[in-house]
Each structure stands twice: as C-alpha cells, then as structure tokens.
Amino acid sequence: MIKTRGIKPKLVGFLANEDPASIKYAECTSKTCEETGVIFELRKCNREELEDQIIEANEDDSVHGIMVYYPVFGDLQDQYLQNVVSVTKDVEGLCQICNSDQNIPYLDEEQIKNYIIPCTPLAIIKVLEYIRVYNSVLLYGNRLHGCVITIINRSEIVGRPLAVLLANEGGKVYSVDINNIQEIHHGTELKLKKYEVRITNLKLEEILPISDVVITGVPTPSYKVPTALLREGVIAINFSAFKNFEDNIKEKASIYVPTIGKITITMLERNLLKLYDRQLSLKNEE
C-alpha cells in the first residue's frame, strides 16, 4: 500500500527505558517498517530529555508520526507525556484517550475515519472482528450484544481503552486489575449512549466460567489463568509479553491467540497512514 503509493511516511519512536518488551517491540517495528516502506527512526534518550525531544519532533514537518515506548516513569507523568505528543502525529492515539474523557465512540465507518484508535486495543478488535465475535447483522454500537468479555489488565494504554471500546459495542465487560473487578456495559435495553462502570463483588473464579472471551495482559511470568475455570469453547487472547494462559489452554479454547504484537504493528502503520494523509490535506488547504 505505502510502496504502491510511492510515499515515504516517517515514524519516530522514542525509547527512554530499558524494558526488554519495549526493546523487542522497537526491533519488530523497525523490521516491519523496512519491509513496508516506512521510514522508522528510533531515538534513544534519557527520560528527563524526553519531553523536549517530543516537542522537537512535533514541530518537525518531516516527521509524520510519533510513538513513545511506555512505561517511561511508570506513574502519572506518563499520562502527561502522552498529551505532549501532538494530536496530529500521535500514531498510538493515546493523547485522545485522555482528552475524550475516556469515552471512545462506536467503531462505525465515520468514526473510524475520525479517530486514531490506540494500536493494541485496535489490533485485538480486528482479531475479534475477523473471528466473527462481532455480530455484523446488528447495528454499530450493539455488535457485541450478549457477549461477556473479561479483560485482565486495566492499564491506560491497553486494558482500559479496550474495555470501553468493547462496552460501547454492547459487550458486558469485566475489567480486572490487581485491586478490583469493574463491570462495564452500556445498558440492558440497548439505549445508553455511553458506557457505565461499577465495581462488582464478583470474583475472578465466578466471572471466568461465564466469559465468552478472556483477554489477558498481566506483565508477570508466574501469572496463569486456570484453564479449569474457563468455559468450553472460550476465545482466549493474550497480549502480555508472558504467557498468561496455561499450557493446556487449547484443550478448552475454540480459538487461542498467544500474542498480538505483529497485528499491533500493522495497526501502527494504519494509523500512521491516516495521519500522513491528514497532514497532506492540511498542507494542500494552506
């Protein structure tokens, strides 16, 4: 697509940590970009220099997309950095998450054109669409009606935005983190425009057996979802760098997706192209 159009979009990735998963992600991004005709520049820096470097890239017309490998500080300062990236260059769609008050709209055709959806949640959604978890007979906003989804991760960059996106499509989502379990849904009567969140007293042992889809992203090698608790035919998706499902998962799961990294990079390039085209049309308007 990029090669056939004869364009050369440039993506800059900022690496300000020593996290092995980030380093691997950067290497894979570099390889895919080379294969597909995207110019990828990895800029390594100290985390204290990062803000200035992002601002410099924001102002550089030759840069079409910017991404930062998180965690950088591992606290609220990372959310601040997400908003330093210009909305016109934010390939990961992370600054819009904060700005949009965490309410990401339905993924109908018009919204797809307007929004940059965060890459990993978008990659997981593409998998769910491909394997027909989304019911295309139903209207946008209801395509996951009747589907129960458990997401074990509530990080700002993956678990929480993914939970909101799935709830806004009508799914009943259990969002699990280290502290509690939230139930997120958009109403029983298909009427609510915005999702609702409440803390549930249900335990993981109670929600796993009723979940049609279980998505995991716990960043520890020892964490395992007990296969015995899962329902027969469950769809199991792991995006953690570690295997969060037990070795016997295929005995229960109808579909098991062990990793999502390659699809994420494809979504990264998809978002980059969108930003490139937007910048081009803005230039043409000047």
What is the binding site for ligand NAD (CB under 6 A)? Answer: 21, 120, 152-155, 157-159, 176-178, 217-219, 223, 239-241, 260-261, 264
CB of 270 to ligand NAD, least distance (A): 14
Min. distance of Cβ 219 from ligand NAD in angstroms?
Answer: 4
Task: Supply the minimum distance, in Å, between the C-beta of residue 116 and ligand NAD.
Answer: 16
**Rg (Cα) of the chain, in Å, rounded?**
19
- Of 214 and 218, nearer to ligand NAD (C-beta) is 218
Smallest separation, CB 198 to ligand NAD (Å): 18
Kindly tell me which of 78 and 140 has the beta carbon lying closer to ligand NAD: 78
d(CA 100, CA 245): 33
Catalytic machinery residues? 119
The token pair at 150 is 């458990």
Closer residue to ligand NAD (CB): 191 or 198: 198
Residue among 177 and 277 whose Cβ is closer to ligand NAD: 177
Burial of 283 (0-12, 13-18, 19+ CB in 10 A): exposed
Q: Residue 79 class from Cβ within 10 Å (0-12 exposed, 13-18 middle, 19+ buried)?
A: middle
Residue nearest to ligand NAD (CB): 155
For ligand NAD, the closer of residues 153 and 227 by Cβ is 153
- C-alpha–C-alpha distance, residues 207 and 223, integer Å: 17
CA distance 104 to 255: 27
Distances (CA, A) of 280 to 10, 11, 113, 275, 276: 13, 15, 15, 9, 6
Which string of DSSP letters, residue by residue, matches 20-77?
HHHHHHHHHHHHHHHHHT-EEEEEE--TTTHHHHHHHHHH-TT--EEEE-S-SSSSHH
Three-class SS state of 238: strand
Length of the chain: 286
Is there a contact between 104 and 97 (Cβ–Cβ < 8 Å)?
yes
The minimum distance between CB 66 and ligand NAD, in angstroms, equals 17
